[in-house]
Amino acid sequence: MSIHPIDYRYGSKEMKEIFEEEKRLEYQLRVEAALAEALADFDKIPKKLAQIIKKRANLNFVKLKRVKEIEKETRHDVMAMVRVLTKVCGQAGKYVHLTATSYDIVDTALALQIKDGLEILFKKGRELLNTCLNICQKYKDLVMIGRTHGQQAIPITLGFKFANFADKIGQNLKKLSESQKYVLGKFSGAVGNYAAQKNFGLDEKFEKKIMEKLGLEAVDISTQVLPRENIARIISDLAIFAGTIEQIAKEIRNLQRTEISELAEPFLKEQVGSSALPQKRNPWESENICSNVRVIRSCVYPALENIALEHERDLTNSAAERAILPTIFVLMDDILERMNRILAGLKVFPENIKRNLEMTGGKIFTEAILTELVKRGLARQKAHQILRKISVETSPEDFKKILFKNKEVLKYLNQKELEKIMDYKNYIGFSVEKTEKIIKKWQANSE
């Protein structure tokens, strides 16, 4: 029976499979197989027996149900797995887990999980970047109002707005790519000093050989466990990436407000917005993203707490990681896919964008007029004072009428010049050029 929404509501099948209980066991068995192969490579066990271990270190032979039965007796999950694997390997079983400690297996298997999870997130992140860049290209010339503090400021373009988002997505993907250097394995024994390996005539090349077989790099030094700083860095980077997606979701939610209505989520033909109000088209997908990002952020704190383990290790990180790693990867997977779906079907309403541009009657051009007045010789503070007074004391309907009659203004600018200044397309700065620059910057990375 499913209890947690992650089980039945969020995330893709491919991501959830990585963190399923059976899959976790499978990763650990892969490490055991690599260990046996490496022992044979260094002539420490017969190659024939190593091949038996490799062949049987999988879910066809080692059943999760049996491992859990043994765990009830041992109260130790790895030892339960080792016992089952030992038994199914027959005469080769005496070499299972040789020179290993539990967390050589657990942490290296965890690295494999994180590696596979990150690959899925990279793929979906690049898809999202590409979708965002398409919006930038399509709407790079569509002039809209820019807002600060929730108030109308000056014009930008819709493409420019999404170029900001695209650049952040690209930077997050770049940072996440750099974080792959923290996805490391280890095979250094009970306190990290390779005592068991050295006593068995092995050196650090043995650890490297195991990692090569698994497609991993080995950490430079460890205690019994890998440094939890590494996991904390990856989780923090994912949470920052999630914050960017939340920002996009918030923007769509705000611009979908009835009073603004410039953008909207896609809405299916038979979709229902409200059980009570038939007219509603709620931005529920964006709201869902914002909600789940809160959970993602909450995973950062225990990841940071897990850093300060005692001596060469304790077990205080274990239970927390079992919860936060599947949570952050599955929810990150979900919000990437959901945001890509939203942006791919994003509704844009140019007529409402134009209506909102004209809402203030031209007051959004006071900065442009101020700049031109200064260029013509009027002191900046004087110009600011004049335009502020006109703006504050007039309604949108009367703004132009009063402005065009102001004697101080007319000393420097005539009505025709003011009209030209108050053309929206003449005051978007480098919105289009910046958008094109960002498209070019990230286009190759989105493919």
Active-site pick, 274, 391, 395, 431: 274
DSSP 309: -
Task: Kindly state the average pLDDT of the residues 231-259.
Answer: 97
On whether both 413 and 306 belong to a single domain, the answer is no
CATH classification of the domain holding 260: 1.20.200.10
On whether both 23 and 86 belong to a single domain, the answer is yes
Look at residue 90 and tell me if it is in a domain.
yes
Beta strands in 343-430 (DSSP E): 347-348
**DSSP alpha helix (H) spans, 57-199:** 64-74, 77-88, 102-138, 158-178, 195-199
On whether both 246 and 374 belong to a single domain, the answer is no
d(CA 296, CA 303): 11
On whether both 233 and 325 belong to a single domain, the answer is yes
4 given a catalytic annotation: no
Look at residue 433 and tell me if it is in a domain.
no
Active-site pick, 2, 76, 97, 149: 149
- Kind plus residue range of the DSSP H or E element containing 155: strand 151-157
Look at residue 292 and tell me if it is in a domain.
yes
Look at residue 48 and tell me if it is in a domain.
yes
275 given a catalytic annotation: no
Asked if residue 8 has pLDDT above 90, the reply is: no
SS3 73: helix
Residue 242's pLDDT band (cuts 50, 70, 90): very high
Asked if residue 445 has pLDDT above 60, the reply is: yes
Tell me how far CA of residue 246 lies from CA of 5, 155, 171, 329, 341, in angstroms. 20, 24, 15, 16, 14
Asked if residue 273 has pLDDT above 70, the reply is: no
On whether both 218 and 300 belong to a single domain, the answer is yes
pLDDT of residue 271: 58
Asked if residue 275 has pLDDT above 60, the reply is: no
Task: Kindly state the average pLDDT of the residues 334-356.
Answer: 97
Q: State which residues form the domain around 29.
A: 5-95
Q: Could you read off the pLDDT of 156-167 as tens digits, one per residue? A: 999 999 999 999
Look at residue 407 and tell me if it is in a domain.
yes
pLDDT of residue 132: 98
Look at residue 343 and tell me if it is in a domain.
yes
Residue 102's pLDDT band (cuts 50, 70, 90): very high
Task: Kindly state the average pLDDT of the residues 409-426.
Answer: 91
Residue 274's pLDDT band (cuts 50, 70, 90): low
Q: Given the DSSP bridges, would you call strands 347-348 and 263-264 parallel, antiparallel or unpaired?
A: antiparallel
CATH classification of the domain holding 63: 1.10.275.10
Residue 272's pLDDT band (cuts 50, 70, 90): low
Task: Kindly state the average pLDDT of the residues 412-428.
Answer: 91
On whether both 55 and 181 belong to a single domain, the answer is no
Rounded percentage of the chain residues whose pLDDT exceeds 90: 90
Domain boundary among 95, 127, 145: 95
Q: Could you read off the pLDDT of 113-153 as tens digits, one per residue? A: 999 999 999 999 999 999 999 999 999 999 999 999 999 99
Q: Could you read off the pLDDT of 181-212 as tens digits, one per residue? A: 999 999 999 999 999 999 999 999 999 999 99
On whether both 161 and 295 belong to a single domain, the answer is yes
Nearest CA to 428 out of 378, 364, 383 is that of 364
pLDDT of residue 352: 97
d(CA 46, CA 36): 9
On whether both 112 and 193 belong to a single domain, the answer is yes
On whether both 231 and 328 belong to a single domain, the answer is yes
Task: Kindly state the average pLDDT of the residues 324-334.
Answer: 98
Look at residue 233 and tell me if it is in a domain.
yes
Q: DSSP readout, 36-65?
A: HHHHHHTTSS-HHHHHHHHHHSSTTTS-HH
Instruction: Find tokens 């004391």 and name the residue.
Output: 393
Domain boundary among 62, 95, 128: 95
Task: Kindly state the average pLDDT of the residues 226-247.
Answer: 97
Task: Kindly state the average pLDDT of the residues 206-223.
Answer: 97
Tell me how far CA of residue 344 lies from CA of 92, 132, 147, 261, 334, in angstroms. 55, 8, 24, 18, 15
Percent helix, percent strand, percent coil in the chain, to nearest 5: 65, 5, 30
Rounded percentage of the chain residues whose pLDDT exceeds 70: 96
Look at residue 435 and tell me if it is in a domain.
no
Structural tokens at position 282: 């709620």
Q: Which residues lie across from 348 on neighbouring strands?
A: 263
On whether both 46 and 139 belong to a single domain, the answer is no
CATH classification of the domain holding 390: 1.10.40.30
Domain count for the chain = 3
pLDDT of residue 127: 97
Nearest CA to 33 out of 17, 45, 19 is that of 45
Asked if residue 21 has pLDDT above 80, the reply is: yes
Q: DSSP readout, 372-383?
A: HHHHTT--HHHH
Instruction: Find tokens 């709620």 and name the residue.
Output: 282
Q: What is the pTM of this model?
A: 0.93
Residue 372's pLDDT band (cuts 50, 70, 90): very high
Domain boundary among 333, 355, 377: 355
Asked if residue 276 has pLDDT above 80, the reply is: no
pLDDT of residue 3: 85
On whether both 184 and 285 belong to a single domain, the answer is yes
d(CA 169, CA 134): 14
Residue 6's pLDDT band (cuts 50, 70, 90): confident
Q: How many CB atoms lie within 10 A of CB 48?
A: 10
Asked if residue 51 has pLDDT above 60, the reply is: yes
Q: Which residues lie across from 217 on neighbouring strands?
A: 184
Q: What's the mean pLDDT when you consider all of the chain? A: 94
Asked if residue 279 has pLDDT above 90, the reply is: no
Asked if residue 417 has pLDDT above 80, the reply is: yes
**Residue 287 phi, psi dihedral angles, 5° rounding:** -65, -40
On whether both 316 and 383 belong to a single domain, the answer is no
